[in-house]
Amino acid sequence: MMARMLEGSEAIARKLAPLKNKVPEALRPFLVKAGEEIAADMRTLAESPRRTGDLIESIQVTGPGETTPAHSADGGQLKAGEFEVLVTAGDADTRHTHLVEGGTKLRYGERAVQFARALRHIKSDQPGSGVHLLSVAGTHCPGDLWAARRRW
């Protein structure tokens, strides 16, 4: 019986080989949609500290195989994997996202409240979604900070 499984596995592998390239194409719309949902939540959470709206407008979704925008978290140098979506904030005119996220006052014994951190709790019911969120803070700030990249 074990010999039959080994013989059949080669035939199955040959039949499944053409599907290997179709999977990323089929999943892309769903990954981008999930990234857009996260970006929409980030925009909503960024409304309370709104002054000019530049931060909200700078929130971008980077689809599979694409590179993050210039001047965003990681400076436009991060390329999303084929099963990955990246959500970033910041652009050439909006380089203050880390100040909005982490605050500008030193808080002793108090953690900074970050809109991206709050978002993690909103989306925590969707583990393993394959969607990643880049912290808008690329530098060290007071309070509890995210790593440069966090898997949901």
User: What's the pLDDT band for 7 if we cut at 50, 70, 90?
Assistant: low
pLDDT of res. 74: 58
CB-based burial of residue 152 (10 Å sphere; 0-12 exposed, 13-18 middle, 19+ buried)? middle
Domain ranges of the chain: 28-151
Statement: residue 23 has pLDDT above 60: yes
User: What's the pLDDT band for 64 if we cut at 50, 70, 90?
Assistant: very high
pLDDT of res. 107: 59
Mean pLDDT on 138-149: 37
Question: Could you tell me which of 47, 64, 52, 58 has the C-alpha nearest to residue 115?
Answer: 47
* DSSP codes of every residue in 94-130: ---HHHHHH-SS--SS-PPP-HHHHHHHHTTTSTT--
| CB neighbour burial string for 42-81, b if at least 16 within 10 angstroms, e if fewer | bbebbeeeeeeebbbebbbbbebebebbebbbbebebebe
Question: Could you tell me which of 112, 111, 108, 117 has the C-alpha nearest to residue 136?
Answer: 117
Mean pLDDT of the chain: 70
pLDDT of res. 14: 86
Which is more confidently placed, 121 or 13?
13
Q: 75-130, pLDDT tens digit by residue? A: 667 888 888 998 888 887 777 776 776 667 765 555 544 555 555 544 444 445 44
Mean pLDDT on 42-61: 83
pTM for the full predicted model: 0.60
